[in-house]
Amino acid sequence: MIYQGDNIRVEFVEDGIAELQFAAAGSVNKFDQKTLEEFSQALTQLASTDGLRGVIVTSSKSTFIVGADITEFLTLFADVEQTKVWVAKASRVFDQLEDLPVPTVAAVTGFALGGGCEAALACDYRVVDTTATIGLPEVKLGLIPGFGGTMRLPRIIGPDNALELITTGKNNRPEDALKIGLVDSVVAPEKLREAALTMAKAAAAGELNWQQKRQPKLEALKANDVELTMTLVTAKGMVAAQAGKHYPAPHAAIRAIEEGARHTREEALNAENRAFVSLTQTDACKAQVGIFLADQLVKGKAKKAAKQATKEIKRAAVLGAGIMGGGIAYQSAYKGVPVVMKDIRQDALDLGMREASKILGKLVERGRLDHKKMAAVLSSITPSLLDESVKGVDIVVEAVVENPDVKGKVLAQMESVVDADTILVSNTSTISIDRLAKNLKDPSRFCGMHFFNPVHKMPLVEVIRGEHTSDETVAAVVAYAARMGKTAIVVNDCPGFLVNRVLFPYLAGFAGMVDEGVDFAGIDKVMERQFGWPMGPAYLSDVVGIDTADHCTLVMADGFPSRMPRDASSAIAKLAAAERFGQKNGKGFYNYGVDKKGRPSKEQAPEVYELLNIGDKQLSADDIIGRCMVPMVNECVRCLEEGIVASAAECDMALLYGLGFPPFRGGPFRYLETVGLENFIALADKYAHLGEMYQVTDGLREMAKSGKSYLAG
C-alpha cells in the first residue's frame, strides 16, 4: 500500500502501475476539504515512490467524483480571505496530479462533474465508460471551475468548445465528449479498468507520447490572435443574450479564459482563482448555492418518504382527460407507471391521447426518443369511459373541472369503485382539501396533488395534507411524484395552498398599480428585465387565464377576506367581464396571434388601455418591484409562521419550480435576506397604507430585531 486515507487509497496493481482510488465512506466521492488534503498527501507520496511507471485514477463507486462538497460553500465563502487561501491551495493539488513524473489515466464511470471533471482533465488521458457524464456545471451555482478547469479545458479541446461547455454548464455524454476530444476512449463499463491499465502501460512503455500530450496544458493557449478574438467576441455575445446581466458567472468565465490565454499554467490559474473568489461574494452565487442545498433538502425528504411508504404505486388512474389530465397521464406512463385515463366523453379522451402523442412526437423529432418507446408509452395509457376501468389501480388522480361540487361527487363515486386501500388525490389549485374530504368515507387516504401546467415541463407538485390525511398516504404520494420525475413539496391545507396563496398578493399588488392608471406593459418590463421573472404579472395573468385568476380571487377572498378582498372593479375582474380571458382566447392584457412567419405573437392591446382607463402615471422601477414583491414575501412569511410549509428552503424551491422565481435571487426568503430584514420592513412600512397585505408580521419584526435568519441551519 502506497497510501491509505479515509477517502483515498493508492497501491500498485501491476508492475510499476499504481491505482489511486477515490473510495469515500459515503454514497459518492466528492472533494470536501478532508478529501482534498488526502488527495495532496497521496500525490506527494506517489511523486516519491520508487519504481513508479504510471498511475490510473479510479473510483470504487458507480460514479467517479460528483464535484466539490457544496455543503461547505456558504460557510467557507463567508470569509473572503479564507476563500482566497482555500481555492489557491486546492487548485494546486490538481497541479500535483498533472506534474507526476509518469503517465496518468483517469478511468471515469458515472458522473465526473465539476472537480471530478477537473481531476480527469489534470490526467494525461481520459477513458470513460458508456455510463459516464462529464462536465463543468459550476455556472449553475453562480461560480466558475475553481480547480483549473478554465485553464486546462481550452488547451485540451480548444477555446471555442471550452467556452461553450463552461459558460453553459453543459454536461456531456461519452460519444459527444469523444467527438470534441474531451476524452480519449469510450468502453463498456466492464472493460473500463482494463482499458485504463492498458493505456497506462502503453504510455509507460513509450508507445504513447504522454509528455507531448501533457505539454499544452502547461503552456499558453495555442491559438492565433484573430481566432482567439473572434471566439471570445462570439462567446461574449452569446452569454450576453442568454445569461443577461443577472448571472455574472459565465461572463467571469470568459474573462478568466481571456486573461489566462497568453500565460502559462501558473498565471492562467491565478486568473481563474481571482475570478472564482470574486464570484463567491456575489448575491447570485449565494442564491444559486442556496438553491442547490434547498433542492438537496427536498430530494432528501422525497427519498425518506419513498423508504417509509407502505404502498407502492404500480398502476394509476387519471379522472378527466383534458389538457391537464392528458399531461398527468402522459407523465405517469412516460416514467413507467401504467395509467387509466377516464372521462365521461369520448372527445375528451381523444384530446387527452392527442396531448400525450403530441408531447412524445416532439421528443422523437428531437432525437430524445425512438418510435418504439413512443408506442410503448402510448400503449400504457388506457383511455376509458367506464368507472370499472379504475378497479385495481393504486392511486386515482382526479383532474376534472375546478368546481368543489363536481370534484366532490366524482371523488365519492370513485371511492365506491376502487379498492379499500386505493389512494385518492385531487389535482386542485385552490379548493380546500378538507372541504373535498367531507365527501369521502375514508379521508385518511385522500390528499391534494397539485400539478402545474404544462405538466411535462413544470417540475413541481404540491402534495397537500388534509386534516385527516395519513402519513402513509403522504409518503406514498410523494414517492409517486418522485417516480414521475417531479419535485414534491408537502404543504398543509389552506386556500390556495402555498404557491397560489402567495401568488395572488403579488398579482393584487400589480393590479393595484394598474387600477391607479400605471401602464401594465411597463410593469411587465420592470418585473422581467430588472427583477428577473420569466414573464411579468400581466403576461402571467394571460397565461394562467384571466377567468381562472378572477375565479381564484373569490376563493382567496373567502379564505382571507381582510387581506385579499375581492374588488369587482379591479383590472382582472374588468377583463374577465369583457371576456378577455388571456392566451386561451387570444385576448387578455395583450392580444395574441401569429406573425407573418407563423410564429406566436404578443402585442399590447389599445382597447385594454381604454377599458382600464390607463393614463400616464409613472412609478419608479423600485416602486414597481416593491409593490409587487412585498405582498408576496409577506405571504410567504405568513405561510411559514402558520406551518403551511415546513421550511423557508422548501418555500423557496416551491416558487422556483412552480412560478419560475428568478434563480439568481434564490427564492422569496433568499431575496428577503439579501435585501435585509430591516430594509425589507422599512420598505413594507412605506406601503403599509395600501392594505393589510403590505403589513409585515410581528414574527418578521422579531426576527429582524434578534438578528436571526430564516435560512439558518
Contact 385, 346 (CB under 8 A): yes
CA distance 242 to 254: 14
C-alpha cell at 431: 379548493
Which residues is 604 bridged to in the sheet? Answer: 590
Contact 301, 265 (CB under 8 A): no
C-alpha cell at 261: 490565454
C-alpha cell at 491: 404543504
C-alpha cell at 569: 372593479
Contact 427, 349 (CB under 8 A): no
Contact 104, 163 (CB under 8 A): no
Least Cα distance to 451 among 443, 462, 440, 441 occurs for 462
C-alpha cell at 299: 430530494
Cβ density class 180-197: b for 16+ within 10 Å, e for less? bebbbbbbeeeebbebbb
- CA torsion angle 684 520 552 505 (round to 10): -10
SS3 87: helix
Least Cα distance to 577 among 603, 612, 543, 605 occurs for 612
C-alpha cell at 591: 392580444
CA distance 693 to 509: 9
Handedness of CA 677, 683, 689, 690 (dihedral sign): negative
Handedness of CA 35, 37, 38, 42 (dihedral sign): positive
Which residues is 54 bridged to in the sheet? Answer: 17
Handedness of CA 199, 205, 211, 213 (dihedral sign): negative
CA distance 457 to 452: 9
SS3 453: coil
Q: Which of 246, 263, 450, 689 is catalytic?
A: 450
Annotation marks residue 450 as catalytic: yes
Least Cα distance to 250 among 154, 150, 390, 104 occurs for 150
Preceding peptide of 189 cis, ω within 30°:
no
Active site residues: 450
